[in-house]
Amino acid sequence: MGKDPTPITPSSGFSIELASALTVVIASNIGLPVSTTHCKVGSVVAVGWLRSRKAVDWLLFRNIFIAWFVTVPISGVISAVIMALFYYVIL
């Protein structure tokens, strides 16, 4: 993530790592599938937001969120098209 969404100091970096690790461990113990990338970005934004709302680059976070939101439907459509092509070409 670097310093793009919010400035990261050694202490906030430790908090980010700890929060994302705890989130993954707790979710895994419950049986929930989680993305470590999502946990890390969420931790970076949360730590920056707790420091100051202005410390977070909300435009960058919005773009990351849109990319997450759009990835699954687009992947599904692409997979369906490829599967349909294979189905009609082979059968």
The boundaries of the domain holding residue 64 are 58-90
52 and 62 co-located in one domain: no
In a domain, 2, yes or no: no
With helix as H, strand as E and coil as C, how does the chain read?
CCCCCCCCCHHHHHHHHHHHHHHHHHHHHHCCCCCHHHHHHHHHHHHHHHHCHHHCCHHHHHHHHHHHHHHHHHHHHHHHHHHHHHHHHHC
pTM above 0.85, yes or no: no
Q: Do residues 37 and 77 share a domain?
A: no
Over the stretch 15-74, which tens digit does the pLDDT of each residue have? 989 999 999 999 999 999 998 888 988 898 888 888 888 888 888 888 888 988 899 899
Assigned domain for 3 exists: no
How many domains does the chain contain in total? 2
